[in-house]
Homo-oligomer: A and B are copies of this chain.
Amino acid sequence: MSQAHEQQPEKKHDWHKLPEEVFRFMEARTASNSAAFLIPTLKEIAATSETGSFKMLDVGAGAGSMTCEFAQIVAPHGGHVTGVDVNPVILSRAAVVAERWGVTGNISFEQADAYKLPYEDGAFDVVHCHQVLVHNKNPWDLLTEMLRVTKPGGVCAAREGDLDTEVMWPPLPGMLKFHHDLEVKLIVGRGGSATAGRELLSWALKTGVKRDQIKTSFSTWSYTEPEDRKLWASGMVDVALGANLAEKHVSYGISIESREEMRRAWKEWVERDDAVLAQLIGEVIIRKE
């Protein structure tokens, strides 16, 4: 979730200074709600591996909530999951999350640059990332590195948003500004992509694998229910539009007034009965030959 190339230091936030409630929305991501496309394959590979031998790598693990559920899933087969992230601060958070999930015996977290993973070729049965490629230039190089550490016969999987498809209703001007002037511009400005979901299959093919080694699909990311919307909007107001980012946003051409309009729009959106937010997400599972 926060995996970034080491040449992009501006992406590192000072997470440990954020209030506890901010982490709630980061930790709302689980394997069930954000990697459902991979779970059957993961279970199958873990179940057919020799007991105690299965290894998974979760790249860009962030606060580790998805990593924890992966570890729960493979635990009955003696499998182990390693979560890596480029940000050392968020990794200390991941240990807390793992304790809360009650997952300790078969999980570990390490700092690592996703472009230069500190593992041998073929070290893992399953290698996964979620919303990582979308933030990076030349994402196929990152996939190539993930495939390098994937065991022949194993799989490498990614799930990436297609930000240009993000829909918001009602179309509050402050919400649309937030989407176009902040979210899209920041991601694209840092070398990321607003069309990652639809391009994901083409990125996988650029690693040199053949089309019949790839299973591709689409799913959605959405906020429709009052409690979920409240959680997401508070994250947008407190984190994405936090006071600590005001100066940076102004330097990107987003005025203090625009920021205030965006904050008001998110707060209005939470109160509306007709409010929804959704985005198309692309998925690939690459089987390594």
Contact = CB atoms under 8 A, between A and B. Distances in A.
Interface stretch (A38-46, A152-160, A212-220, A260-268): A212-220
Contact of A202 (B169, B197, B278, B282): B169
B218 A198 contact: no
Contacts of A188: none
A99 interface: no
Nearest to A162: B167
Nearest to A166: B165
A224 interface: yes
B205 A273 contact: yes
A201 B169 contact: yes
Given A169-B202, A199-B169, A201-B274, A222 B211 contact: no
Interface of A: 162, 164-165, 167-170, 195, 197-199, 201-202, 205, 211, 216-220, 222, 224, 273-274, 276, 278-280, 282
Nearest to A278: B218
A136 B104 CA distance: 55
Copies of this chain, whole number: 2
A232 to B, nearest CB: 14
Closest 5 pairs between A and B when the two form their complex, measured CB to CB: A202-B274, A167-B198, A211-B273, A165-B165, A169-B198
A274 B165 contact: no
B280 A198 contact: no
A164 B169 CA distance: 13
A219 B217 contact: no
Contacts of A195: 167, 169
Given A218-B224, A278-B282, A279-B280, 9 more contacts: A167-B198, A168-B198, A170-B202, A202-B274, A211-B273, A216-B224, A217-B224, A218-B278, A219-B219
15 contacts: A164-B167, A165-B165, A167-B198, A169-B199, A169-B201, A197-B278, A198-B276, A205-B273, A216-B276, A218-B222, A218-B224, A219-B219, A219-B220, A220-B280, A278-B280
A202 B269 CA distance: 13
Contacts of A211: 273
Contacts of A219: 219-220
Most buried by B among A168, A218, A224: A218
Contact of A274 (B164, B167, B205): B205
Nearest to A220: B218
Contacts of A217: 222, 224
